[in-house]
Amino acid sequence: MKYQLVNVEQHELLAKGICERVGSAEAFHKHGLDKNEEVIDAKMADHDDAMALVLESLTSGPAKAIDSLDEIDAVGHRIVQGGKYFDRSVLIDDDVIQKIDELAELAPLHNKAALMGINACLKHMPDVPMVAVFDTSFFQTLPPKAYMYPLPYELYEKYAIRKYGAHGTSHRYISERAAVVLDEPLDELKLITCHLGNGCSMSAIDHGVAVDTSMGLTPLDGLMMGTRCGAVDPAIVPFIMDHEGLSTSEVNDLMNKKSGLLGISGISNDLRSVRDASEKGDERAMLAYDMYSNSVKKYIGQYIAVMGGVDAIVLTAGVGENCEKMRRMIFTGLQPLGIILDEEKNRQRGFEREISADSSQVKIIIIPTNEEYMIARDTYEIVHEQMRVDGAVFDEEPALA
């Protein structure tokens, strides 16, 4: 469970932290900003316990950020699955809670944990407004031809089986920032956004509107990832189940946790380890590296076709932001599509930056993602709007940059 305490108006990060391995004997809690970060071994049976620890660390101890919980004006929660119900962030009420619960079938681990976080906040801060920010809502603009699967239509009607996408908050953030970096209005741009980390997804964003994305009903679809296989021939699933005698949960586990970079290399899901092994001549590590870059390349081609062109390709997350070698492999050979990487700019480190050659028709941009900022901003805007509706009086209009 990750969290940040943010002063949105001042653009100030006051505290951040993470509770890891919640529910296991090795649970620990990291809290504080870089200079005063502390790591605490702490028992956390569930997310309710974790939230109680977080609230305690915010208000007491060496890295406390505030004197009392009264100083917290609102809480924003990241929710993985918003299904067809939510095409934007919303103020949380009983109906929203009930829908998040109903949708847990599509994201069992994530939505249930998020509900525990919401309930824990309700318990400790009953009067503080809360906002739900959905990972799927950015993709509710996809047209039916992109979100439907060519399965019997009744399955869509009966179970709402369709593409929902994921990482939407990240794609929304990097597309907005890309427009700023390019100094062009977002609604005049065709963008391909690539979130390449341990989880990987890509989106086609046409004039500010998401028209396709690589993750599907679940975050297993699409690109090859750290431990997830991404799209494979669906006939492979019953084949492995028959031949290996696997149950549905075992085959699910195999595709989610034992595949991708880890499955092919047999070394790690971490691209750095795979890269090191490939540079020492390990053939399976080389193959994993090749497959990962090829998977991204193929989606670039698809999305250029879907949008009838592209103005910029935007990269983010651990691999997209940091791995110069992977970026080189992805863009090698795309010159006929007007996409040319500048080798020197690709080597340089930095924050938001362009790494395409001056002669490239298509810009290539790196934007470090900031999902927490988007959650804080949506929360600020929605709660502020609600206060306006409720007739709250402000001394002066708060400014949100």
Instruction: State how far the alpha carbon of 146 is from the alpha carbons of 36, 69, 267, in Å.
Output: 47, 44, 35
The closest of 324, 389, 393, 374 to 174, measured between CA atoms, is: 374
Binding of ligand AMP by 59 (CB under 6 A)? no
Q: Are 201 and 165 in contact (CB under 8 A)?
A: yes
Q: Which of 393, 380, 389, 386 is nearest to 11 (CA)?
A: 380
Of the two residues 198 and 218, which places its CB atom closer to ligand AMP in the complex?
198
Residue 318 as a binder of ligand AMP (CB under 6 A): the answer is yes
**Closest approach of Cβ 356 to ligand AMP, in Å?**
20
The token duo for 72 is 């917290």
Quote the least distance from Cβ 341 to ligand AMP, whole Å.
Answer: 16
CA distance 181 to 323: 21
Among 41, 94, 127, 135, which one carries the catalytic annotation?
135
* Annotation says 127 is catalytic: no
204 vs 315, beta carbon nearer ligand AMP: 315
How many residues touch ligand AMP (CB under 6 A)?
A: 11
At a CB cut-off of 8 Å and minimum separation 6, what does 351 contact?
Answer: 368
In the range 178-237, which residues lie near ligand AMP by CB under 6 A? 197-198, 226
Stretch in the footprint of ligand AMP (CB under 6 A) among 58-66, 107-115, 154-162, 318-326? 318-326
Per-residue contact track with ligand AMP, 321 to 360, x per CB under 6 A? Answer: -xx-------------------------------------
The CB-nearest residue to ligand AMP is 318
Handedness of CA 218, 222, 226, 227 (dihedral sign): positive
Q: Closest approach of Cβ 202 to ligand AMP, in Å? A: 14
* Cα–Cα distance for residue pair 397/390, rounded to 1 Å: 16
Phi, psi of 79 (to 5 degrees): -120, 125
**315 pairs with which residues across the strands?**
194, 366
264 counts as binding ligand AMP under rule CB under 6 A: no
Minimum distance between the CB of residue 370 and ligand AMP, rounded to whole angstroms?
12
Where on the chain is the footprint of ligand AMP (CB under 6 A)? 197-198, 226, 270-272, 317-319, 322-323
Active centre residues (catalytic)? 135
